[in-house]
Structure 1
């Protein structure tokens, strides 16, 4: 985050736009490389369970998907590893794009950059990094407060750009989210034991608002993330909404969208 100008984009997708979330990720990776500029993308999706590639291996995935649909959630298969996470209006996704060659940041260093970013947003919270094994989508770079996970991360790289993706539970009913994913895995495993999938314990996950003991909106959280960015450069909130309408960007977005459409077919033909 040493760029002099940091461009931001905030998007609140409608349910029918769910594939846009990851299509934009691919297109923004291209744009980051093209412009050699850092970008931060904030986005939200209502009532969606975002599945990881490994979830395709579940023996009774169809039954699990049917259960999610019955609970009022749509499903999306993302183009990265990991496992199922919940998106709703209390969860904020923050994607940090950097023009960078593969050798510029190790995987660990890139994750640490995002962890430092979140810590700077809430300096009074004692953030810990490390796997919370009974959370949903556990990973080495889970972010937790007092042993309860608030956020997870993943990253993606091209030859000349890097994105670190964070989902962070800002507010809402984290117990309900955790129960949803716990039941999804119980149903999809159908009594089988497979250590690749977590035994989700709702007690090990929380939200930032609950940890603060205060009302916290997603818009307030975005404002705080932006405030931290102003300490590292000039914030530009005008350029990206215009650039994403340009024909060249739209062409990259359309190609990425078609890739996402093809990937979704795996949910019915796994």
Structure 2
């Protein structure tokens, strides 16, 4: 077990239900707030769960696609709301069958390199699913959406992707876990988005060639009927074994003021970036 997962206190902030109807921009602001609080030792290390209804989060490079407006219109037609984040990475799908988990740690107490952050999340996921831990591998799955060196897969099929956010000496390691439904159908949606947004044009940036068959949900891969709720319960039970104390805590009043600051910043930066198109 990764030593960073053992903490005297874990704060657990469950937003797997409360954020469903909210824009994912709110989640970005929440993680920025937690980075600040945990990084400055104003909060214990925190694990947050979050779920958003049908959305596709696009990266800056996606927004530079030659026909991105047409691609976004296609997403809307398919019932997915597109938003653009002002950070790296490429398009990812969020929906009620995908559980997002953020682990937020402070670098004031222990230096955490980029790979160290990824390894913490890999260890957490393996601990969450001990029945499949030996089958899980972390390497880039070519043909998946938003490919990265720490894609999590079983037998070559990706079910999760990991990213990081660093702010005010806080590190937020974030993962999307495809729990329910069809991973291939989600990948086909992103394939069609790129097809519509490129329309055969050559671009300086090389966008992924999506092969839907290389993506799957954990329910599909493990031939089991997992739900997001099941995994949130598993996570809470796991935390009880990793800390002397687990605090189930949303933001306090004074923390909400800081959240309001980061939320406004996220919205302002997003609006500014969208205006550059």
Q: TM-score, normalised by structure 1?
A: 0.92
Query: CA offset at residue 189 of structure 1?
Result: 1.2
Equivalent residue, structure 1, for 2:81: 74
Deviations, residues 190-239 of structure 1 (Å, cap 9, x unaligned): 2124463111111000011111111111011112222222222135243x
Equivalent residue, structure 2, for 1:162: 171
Query: CA offset at residue 106 of structure 1?
Result: 1.3
TM alignment of 1:127-166, pairs within 5 A: 127-166=136-175
Partners of 2:87 and 2:214 lie apart in 1 by 24
CA contact (8 A) 2:182 2:220 kept: no
Equivalent residue, structure 1, for 2:259: 253
Deviations, residues 4-35 of structure 1 (Å, cap 9, x unaligned): 11010111314344321111111111121232
Equivalent residue, structure 1, for 2:268: 262
Partners of 2:142 and 2:245 lie apart in 1 by 37
Query: CA offset at residue 179 of structure 1?
Result: 0.9
TM alignment of 1:112-131, pairs within 5 A: 112-125=119-132, 126-131=135-140
Equivalent residue, structure 1, for 2:44: 37
Deviations, residues 42-84 of structure 1 (Å, cap 9, x unaligned): 0000000011222122111111111111111112222431100
Distance 1:116 1:25, change over 3 A: same
Partners of 2:274 and 2:81 lie apart in 1 by 12
Distance 1:54 1:44, change over 3 A: same
Question: What's the C-alpha RMSD, in Å, of the aligned pairs?
Answer: 1.8
TM alignment of 1:1-270, pairs within 5 A: 1-11=5-15, 12=17, 13-33=19-39, 34-101=41-108, 104-125=111-132, 126-194=135-203, 196-238=206-248, 240-241=249-250, 244-246=251-253, 248-265=254-271, 266-267=273-274, 269-270=276-277
Partners of 1:166 and 1:26 lie apart in 2 by 15
Mind listing any 5+ residue stretches in structure 1 that lack a counterpart? none
Mind listing any 5+ residue stretches in structure 2 that lack a counterpart? none
Partners of 2:22 and 2:241 lie apart in 1 by 36
Query: CA offset at residue 102 of structure 1?
Result: 10
Q: Give the 3-state SS of the residue equivalent to 2:47 in structure 1.
A: strand
CA contact (8 A) 1:8 1:235 kept: no
Q: TM-score, normalised by structure 2?
A: 0.90
Distance 1:268 1:201, change over 3 A: farther
Distance 1:16 1:109, change over 3 A: closer
Partners of 1:188 and 1:268 lie apart in 2 by 18
Partners of 1:86 and 1:48 lie apart in 2 by 6
Partners of 1:235 and 1:203 lie apart in 2 by 42
CA contact (8 A) 1:22 1:79 kept: no
